[in-house]
Structure 1
Amino acid sequence: MGGLDVAADIRTALRAAAVPERAAGQQAYMKSHMPFLGVTVPDARRIARSRATAHGIRDAASALPVARVLWDDATHREERYAAMALLALRGVEGDPGIVPTLEHMVRTGRWWDFTDELAHRFPPLLESDPARTGALLRTWSTDADLWIRRVAIIAQLGRKDAVDRVLLEDVMAPNLDDADFFIRKAIGWALRELARVDPDWVRAYVASHELSPVSRREALKHL
């Protein structure tokens, strides 16, 4: 089956799992102009994975066309959750070829649920192609689009002690004076997570930089 057919199959499965009574509350919580079907995020991901497996999707070449169709033609938000789940498939995640699609999704999604999920695709990219991925994140850290900058800041969440401290400093530096809540929260979040494995580094960073109250509070939350 081609990308259009697989995308149609995933849409059908999402609609079969829909609980319409849930949809209005989901849309209100997410402050979304795009309506919901009433499928939970875990279920949307599960459906995407199971249908992808059924259709033999196991690499970026087969996953990306389906993801782009689901994303660009989405009428309901769960279709975009399913599209993002395809980028996390084994054999797809960590492939540098997914970066243009990641960027497209961030720039067109423009909200925290999409941005934060897409940021989770970067730790495997930093493992598979650290030099090019690090250079990309440094470029993104000065982008005019705040969501692209947010991804650059939180792209190392989950790496624990493997966090590249120099890279983290480099992507935070152009954003320390930004007044946007989502940027300030991202800086604090990145520091808070690093503090779990390297509290001394975070304490020293906070002591030597002028952070917003939001960033500082988040960074020191568990210290």
Structure 2
Amino acid sequence: MPKVSRSALKKTADVVKSLKARPARENGGKKTFQESTQAVLSPLTPQMIIVELRGKFNTQKNEIEAKRMKKYMRDQFAYIGLWTPQRKELSSEALSSCSEFNQVQLHQLLRLLWEEPEREYQLFALDCMYKYRKVLSGHSEKDSLESLMVVKELITTKSWWDTVDMLASKVVGDLVAAHRTAFTLIMDEWIQDEHLWLRRTAILHQLNYKQKTNQQLLFKYCLMCADEEDFFIRKAVGWSLRNYFRTNATAVKTFVKSNKDKLSPLSKKEALKHA
């Protein structure tokens, strides 16, 4: 895996610096009345959401299922033992209550959920991020950048496919799509990062772009990681190509054929799964 080049780091640093220095709003950088109202802290706090979830989740704790789930995830995470429909039903009120949070409070909630030992709390965080993705995006590139940095923390903490794949395709993908010129430079850094799951995220962030996919960037990232032996990288390369195959089958076939000696058997198999 090539190391991050100085030029790539400088480009990303320049983007981050410029976004942080840029006024977040028009009208001379002044807050509108609506934004000022949103900035007022809600009587509801992120800590209260955690307490509510804990109370609801523990009423249906299932140690047998918890052990099975933990084993399935290679004993990496503890579980309460709730299946998805059950968890969503128990957390529906808490999820609706999160509509009161502004971006700062939402970031705080996500971090708190990630600190909880049981995996169900991180899965609730995914539900929360998807439902309130507009809050994550905020009102400016600077707001979106702050959310992207929070998501980076989550990707690199308690990392596994069950959280990373949704964060990559639904959260990072949306944030980058809204600010492609600036944030693609950050993806250029992530694809060279030593952290496996950041590289996987960079490969998968265009997964749902369809006609808006930057084909050159997709193929570039796939080739940059083509020589890696890790299963999750090889799978990500194939998966990203397979999804783009639905939009441009000819381009994917040509790419795979031209790079058949570089791509792994798994990546090629996944890429042409529907050929």
In the superposition, the TM-score normalised over structure 1's length comes to 0.90
User: What is the rounded CA distance, in whole Å, between the counterparts of 2:163 and 2:176 in structure 1?
Assistant: 20
Judging changes above 3 Å, is the alpha-carbon distance between structure 1 residues 79 and 207 closer, same or farther for their aligned structure 2 residues?
same
1:87 equivalent to 2:129? Answer yes
User: What is the rounded CA distance, in whole Å, between the counterparts of 1:162 and 1:47 in structure 2?
Assistant: 37
Deviation at 1:18, TM superposition (A): 3.4
Judging changes above 3 Å, is the alpha-carbon distance between structure 1 residues 222 and 11 closer, same or farther for their aligned structure 2 residues?
same
2:69 is matched with 26
Deviation at 1:45, TM superposition (A): 4.9
CA contact (8 A) 1:150 1:182 kept: yes
Deviation at 1:173, TM superposition (A): 2.8
1:214 equivalent to 2:257? Answer no
Q: Which has the higher contact order (CA 8 A, sep 6+)?
A: 2
User: What is the rounded CA distance, in whole Å, between the counterparts of 1:186 and 1:19 in structure 2?
Assistant: 33
User: What is the rounded CA distance, in whole Å, between the counterparts of 2:272 and 2:173 in structure 1?
Assistant: 23
| Alignment: residue pair count | 222
The one of 229, 234, 237 equivalent to 1:184 is 234
The one of 163, 168, 186 equivalent to 1:114 is 163
Deviation at 1:126, TM superposition (A): 2.7
2:59 is matched with 16
Alignment of 1:37-76 (within 5 A): 37-45=80-88, 47-48=90-91, 50-72=93-115, 74-76=116-118
1:2 equivalent to 2:45? Answer yes
1:130 is matched with 180
3-state DSSP class of the match of 1:203?
helix
Runs of 4+ in 1 over 6 A off after TM superposition: none
**After superposition, what is the alpha-carbon deviation per residue over 1:178-210, rounded to whole angstroms, capped at 9, x for unaligned?**
111110110000001111121001011111222
Deviates more, 1:187-196 or 1:86-95: 86-95
User: What is the rounded CA distance, in whole Å, between the counterparts of 1:147 and 1:29 in structure 2?
Assistant: 19
Structure 2 unaligned spans of 5+: 1-43, 139-143
3-state DSSP class of the match of 2:130?
coil
Deviates more, 1:109-118 or 1:56-65: 56-65
User: What is the rounded CA distance, in whole Å, between the counterparts of 1:64 and 1:207 in structure 2?
Assistant: 44
Judging changes above 3 Å, is the alpha-carbon distance between structure 1 residues 212 and 48 closer, same or farther for their aligned structure 2 residues?
same
User: What is the rounded CA distance, in whole Å, between the counterparts of 2:150 and 2:90 in structure 1?
Assistant: 20
User: What is the rounded CA distance, in whole Å, between the counterparts of 1:16 and 1:201 in structure 2?
Assistant: 52
2:199 is matched with 149
Give the counterpart letter for 1:140 in structure 2: W
Judging changes above 3 Å, is the alpha-carbon distance between structure 1 residues 42 and 103 closer, same or farther for their aligned structure 2 residues?
farther
Deviation at 1:49, TM superposition (A): 5.3
Judging changes above 3 Å, is the alpha-carbon distance between structure 1 residues 43 and 132 closer, same or farther for their aligned structure 2 residues?
farther
Give the counterpart letter for 1:10 in structure 2: L
**After superposition, what is the alpha-carbon deviation per residue over 1:65-114, rounded to whole angstroms, capped at 9, x for unaligned?**
11111112x12111111122222123335441321221111111222112
User: What is the rounded CA distance, in whole Å, between the counterparts of 2:98 and 2:255 in structure 1?
Assistant: 48
**After superposition, what is the alpha-carbon deviation per residue over 1:117-159, rounded to whole angstroms, capped at 9, x for unaligned?**
2112123213321122211111100000111101111111122
